[in-house]
A = this chain, B = another copy of it.
Amino acid sequence: MKRLDTGSAEFEAEFSSLLNTRETESARVDAPVSAILAAVREKGDEAVCDYTARFDRLELTPGHMRITGEEITAAVAKVPAEQLEALNFAASRIERFHRAQLPQDMSFTDEDGLTLGQRWTALDAVGLYVPGGKAAYPSSVLMNALPARVAGVPRLAMCVPTPGGVLSPLVLAAAERAGVDEIYRIGGAQAVGALAFGTKTIAPVDRIVGPGNAYVAEAKRQVFGHVGIDSIAGPSEVVVVADAKNDPRLVALDLLAQAEHDELAQSILITNDTGFADRVAAAVEHELKTLSRAAIASASWRDFGAVIVVAGWSEAASLINRIAPEHLEIMLDDPAALFAQVRHAGAAFLGRFCPEAVGDYVGGPNHVLPTSRTARFASGLSVYDFLKRTTFIEGDRKALQRVGPAGVVLAKAEGLEAHALSISARLETGHDTE
């Protein structure tokens, strides 16, 4: 963990280095991924089954790729009632927030007589990638699938690798609750290829979302353009802004909740009180002694953790905007005052009783958020990811008479004669069928 003080002469250099420490070279898997995608595109199901046998130690036939309704029912029956209830509670809250997010169509007629507007429509089919094994988070299934459902996507196909054939009951329960239509027990670049290009068994989708390992990320990169993808997530981070009125242990737990995700995660405390900074740092060390994921959390805290002491909250705002954190907690008496100065953050958690973990599970807004400073230009997953806009223009001869001539001038200036003619010939023609 690094201690920084905005009053120090070295602050600027230290802060810059803090912003850049986690820039990592992703593994170069272009060539193997490109071979897998080409094989899936050419041989379809056969290639998918071959790779699944090789990578997931699972012998599959095309007819057995899809997880059946009976398997899902049997798996869901194993989930403790308490967990199913929590899942349903979370799902309902996530649905409601995303329904509130749905945009409205828009149109207006202007004084030149043209009617202009835009109309939102859902994608036809979305593919949801869910990692296998320990990285299979049921909460992520809800967060990826429900916005697509709320947006009105009629077909949701999910791929989840089941190494050795083992299914995750809670993941299947989440998929069922979220209304996923098809679930396939395949993973890796071969699953991304199957979703993008389609096989005899799996119809192609229009967009693929969901996290995955380096192979999955590279496969998404390579199929992008053929289908849409979500952004490729990097290591994630939290900034906690807290004054000395807070319980240091609660702040420490919030920092560790981020750190326990991943050795590359970054947790940063910004405070105005040096003594409080010390108490939080001590509390982190104390909690680490008993935490089940202490190995991961302490590596993250050691390598990327930071405590920054500022002279005041507007200084904090300017640091937050430079960090553009994925998660921002503001544990102050008046969190709104500081939040009003924040321009770049994926999601904000305001007040002393709103830890980031609330947003991970039950808050309602999406937990798939822009990581690694990309909140400067990107947003969290939302219904917008599963909708697209068609703009439209409607006009009669009179409207064309008003706006057309300027179009002719510009088309000619750009050397596009047919463009100019398509307007001017309409203005000249006596053949008015309107």
Q: Which A positions have Cβ atoms within 8 angstroms of B?
A: 82-83, 85-87, 89-90, 93, 96-97, 100-101, 103, 106, 108, 110, 112, 114, 116, 118, 121-124, 134, 137-139, 170, 206-207, 225, 227-228, 231-232, 234, 245-247, 249-250, 253-254, 256-257, 259-261, 287, 291-293, 297, 335-336, 339, 342-366, 370, 374-380, 382, 384, 388-397, 399-400, 403-407, 409-411, 413-423, 425-426, 429, 431, 433-434
Cross-chain contact A234 with B245 (CB below 8 angstroms)? no
A257 touches B393 (CB 8 A): no
- Distance, CA A433 to CA B251, complexed state (A): 14
In the assembled complex, the Cα of A399 lies from the Cα of B397 at a distance in Å of 59
A-B contact pairs, 18 of them (CB 8 A): A97-B116, A100-B106, A114-B358, A114-B364, A116-B364, A138-B410, A206-B377, A225-B374, A256-B422, A257-B422, A291-B417, A339-B392, A348-B390, A348-B392, A356-B422, A358-B393, A361-B419, A376-B388
> How far is B388's CA from A374's CA once the two chains are assembled, in angstroms?
10
A106-B116 contact, Cβ under 8 Å, with A410-B87, A417-B291, A422-B250:
no
Distance in angstroms from A188 CB to nearest chain B CB is 21
| A410-B353 contact given A347-B390, A389-B382, CB 8 Å threshold | no
Please give me the 10 A-B residue pairs with the lowest Cβ-Cβ distance, nearest first: A365-B391, A228-B377, A350-B394, A86-B406, A86-B409, A357-B419, A256-B418, A355-B422, A361-B407, A348-B392
Q: When chains A and B are docked, how far (Å) is the Cα of A356 from the Cα of B422? A: 8
Determine how many copies of this chain the complex contains.
2
Give 7 new A-B contacts, CB below 8 A, not counting A101-B106, A357-B423. A96-B110, A134-B415, A287-B418, A362-B404, A365-B391, A379-B388, A379-B389
Q: How distant is the Cα of A356 from the Cα of B106 in the complex, in angstroms?
A: 20
Q: Are A228 and B357 in contact (CB under 8 A)?
A: no
Instruction: Determine the chain B residues whose CB is within 8 A of the CB of A394 once the complex forms.
Output: 335-336, 349-351, 354
**Can you name the residue of chain B whose Cβ is closest to the Cβ of A372?**
B225
| A137 neighbours in B (Cβ, 8 Å) | 414
Which of B254, B257, B342, B393 is A363 in contact with, Cβ under 8 Å? B393
Q: Can you name the residue of chain B whose Cβ is closest to the Cβ of A97?
A: B116
Known: A377-B388, A390-B375, A418-B260. A247 touches B353 (CB 8 A): no
Contact A358 B228 (CB under 8 A): no
Q: Which residues from chain B contact A420 at a C-beta distance below 8 Å?
A: 357
Cβ contact within 8 Å between A390 and B346: yes
Chain B residues with CB under 8 Å of A170's CB are: 413
Is the pair B83, A360 in contact by a Cβ cutoff of 8 Å?
no
- The residue in chain B whose Cβ has the minimal distance to the Cβ of A103 is B103
A124 and B343 contact, Cβ closer than 8 Å, known pairs A86-B406, A418-B293: yes
Report chain B residues within 8 Å CB of A422.
250, 253-254, 256-257, 355-357
Best-surrounded residue of A122, A339, A394, A396 (most CB of chain B within 10 A): A394
* Chain B contacts for A110, CB-based, 8 A: 93, 96, 364
How near does chain B come to A251, taking the closest CB pair, in angstroms? 9
A390: B residues at CB distance < 8 A: 342, 344-348, 375, 379
Question: Cβ of A349: which chain B residues have Cβ within 8 Å of it?
Answer: 392-394
Q: A352 — which chain B residues lie within 8 A by C-beta?
A: 426, 433-434
Tell me the nearest residue of chain B to A254, going by C-beta.
B422
Q: A407–B116 contact, CB under 8 A? A: no
Query: Distance in Å from the Cβ of A427 to the closest Cβ of chain B?
Result: 9
Residues of B within 8 A of A207 (CB): 377
